[in-house]
Amino acid sequence: MNEAERYERWLDIWENEFDVIIGTRSSIFTPIGKLGVIILDEEHDPSYKEGTRVRYNTRDVAIKLGEILNIPVVMGSATPSIVTRYKAENENDFTLLEIPVKAQSSSPLELQVVDLKKIDRLKEDTAITGKLFTAIREELEKNNKIIIFLNRRGYSNFVICNKCGSVPKCSACDLSYNYHSDRRKLVCHHCGREQNYTGMCPVCGADNIFLCGTGIQRVQSKLKMRFKNTP
């Protein structure tokens, strides 16, 4: 969400337009009225820690908020952090609930690892390899759904001018911009600074720009081209 959309959601939440709020770590500070329970899924995940601006741990903030509002805080994890596990076993304010068996039985997972260093990059797409394409096609033919995870936002990791070698960087962080195709913006994933993407090199003026790396938007674009009839 951009800042305007974020502000609108905050106002909606403040006016009690929603009964359930789902968000990332910053949502713990959302002005929610009549809050009844706080749930932290995968509480062990290090992404709950904010260390670049105001430093905080979402888990600790949630526990304190629960104390202030006198509401339960539920923390779920198959591999809980040592701190949470210790508190659950030794402190009276915590209760340890365990699920000894899986919620549903499932067949053993079949895992395949594709070494991108060994594929022929002239014949095969590194974003959607031949094995991945075949696996997707086979599951679609069975009317099954598919989830693809990629921990890279945007379209490409950075852009480079093929003529002069210039790489646009954030003036505040000195880090290369990521390209976001949906907004045609160069975005710094560290501080959020943005600038328009024109397709022209800001240094030499050439229009020979190469989009380097693969983000989730590039994968989405390739999937739409290769599976045109799939919603």
pLDDT at 215: 93
Domains defined for the chain, CATH in brackets: 3-90 (3.40.50.300), 149-231 (no CATH)
Q: Is the pLDDT of residue 51 over 90?
A: no
Q: Which helix (H) or strand (E) covers residue 25, if one does?
A: none
From 82, 72, 222, select the one nearest 156 (Cα to Cα): 222
- pLDDT, tens digit, 9 for 90 and up, residues 63-112: 999 999 999 999 999 889 999 999 999 988 898 888 877 666 666 778 88
Task: Report the predicted TM-score, pTM, of the whole model to 2 decimal places.
Answer: 0.53
Q: In this predicted structure, which of 19-28, 54-63, 121-130, 210-219 has the lowest mean pLDDT? A: 121-130
First to last CA, the chain: 23
Write out 147-175 in H/E/C secondary structure. CCCCCCCCCECEEEECCCCCCCECCCCCC
The rounded radius of gyration (Å) of the Cα atoms in the chain is 23
Q: Is the pLDDT of residue 165 over 80?
A: yes
Q: Is the pLDDT of residue 31 over 80?
A: yes
